[in-house]
A and B are shown apart, each in its own frame.
Chain A
Amino acid sequence: MKKIAAAPYQLWMAIFVIVPLFIVAYFAFTTDSGAFTLENIIKTADYAPIFARSIGFAALATVICLIIAYPLAYIIANMSKNVQSTMIMIVMLPMWMNFLLRTYAWQTIIGNNGIINNLLSMVGIEPIKMLNTSGAVILGMVYDYIPFMILPLYTVMAKIDKSIMEAAGDLGCNGFQSILKVTIPLSMPGIISGITMVFVPAISTFIISKMLGGSSNLLIGDLIEMQFLGTSYNPNLGAGISFVLMVIILIVMAFINLIDKSDQEEKVII
């Protein structure tokens, strides 16, 4: 009975997850006439600096998200139940708006004639170049993906039994020590899934860099987009780059899960 119930999901997985993966792999290892080649994979090496930049930006954005989200999730988890749900709703609120629109809004905020620079010029400060920089891309990533960090952290922290914290206090921990020795280890699964949920979309994003990054902040997602929809049509190379990117993400995730496994029995699914 259980098997029958699971069948539609298995079929779904097969059609929409497994098959596309094979199609990507097929394209990655063939030429446009269908012959086997390794050229697409080898050529990916030319774009190593872009891979490096994408990984660097995504990692930086993930760390910033974690630093901002962790205290926030902790504070929310320790509020009264009613306030908690309101706060979580506020965290989710921006996500009700279209992702493109939110990113687009940053253009008007940080542009050379944007809101911030207009305010600065009113008090006599020279305009600062913010839009079309790498910083703007990272800002965009942090802004767009931070709810994905807050939510898993909050979910895990809300479940931590308050009496454990009290026990830590009774045994002589001060507030800071009990966070360090009790809350952080217990919230590890939340940290891991938060990192996963921010890092993976951030590394393959393309529209944020296009909208906020200007001419010289092309990321790996943009490069892939160019090969498929964009201006240098070469789906085989695009598939090759995607394939390499998948392998990199897989390795990174394996590492993160390894850290997790060392002191936690709860595993997180990628």
Chain B
Amino acid sequence: MTELSLCTKESFDAVMRKYADMVYKLAYSRTGSTYDADDILQEVFLRYIRADKTYNDEEHRKAWLLRITINCTKSYLTSAWNRHTDYEEPDPNIGAEDPALKASETKNDVMNALMTLPEKYRTAIYLFYYEDMSIAQIAKTVGTSETNIKTRLSRGREMLKEKLKGVEFDV
């Protein structure tokens, strides 16, 4: 039995708090909306409780949560009606006094560039660079071949290089 048992409500809560950040960021990277990410976060952990699985280890649990997040965002995006764009432009006035945010013009450029990618490329880029997952892990999580993941990463990088002049990729 892993450290985070699935049998008590305390464990469910601990799992949620441990992985909420990861689920939220992935949901945001796919939808570009904090509102949608909020809803998807709740949906993912509701499904987690209802599935009530046991896991081989934490990596297994993490992969399962990522997979469910991807599934939830798919369902969510295809039912969206009142959207003219899938990406919320960050409000430039929010946190204007925050030095960390002020210094994040780069952050906005990177986020903007990332959000212009097709959703599949975006997911691959995000999981590879932000979640530090390997090609094989991403392929298994997303449910496709390693070749496809490599292709998506390569094309995603090409598109990002065009938009982010001078950015270096460490692979």
**Do A and B actually bind?**
no
Which residues of B are in contact with A by a Cβ distance under 8 Å?
none
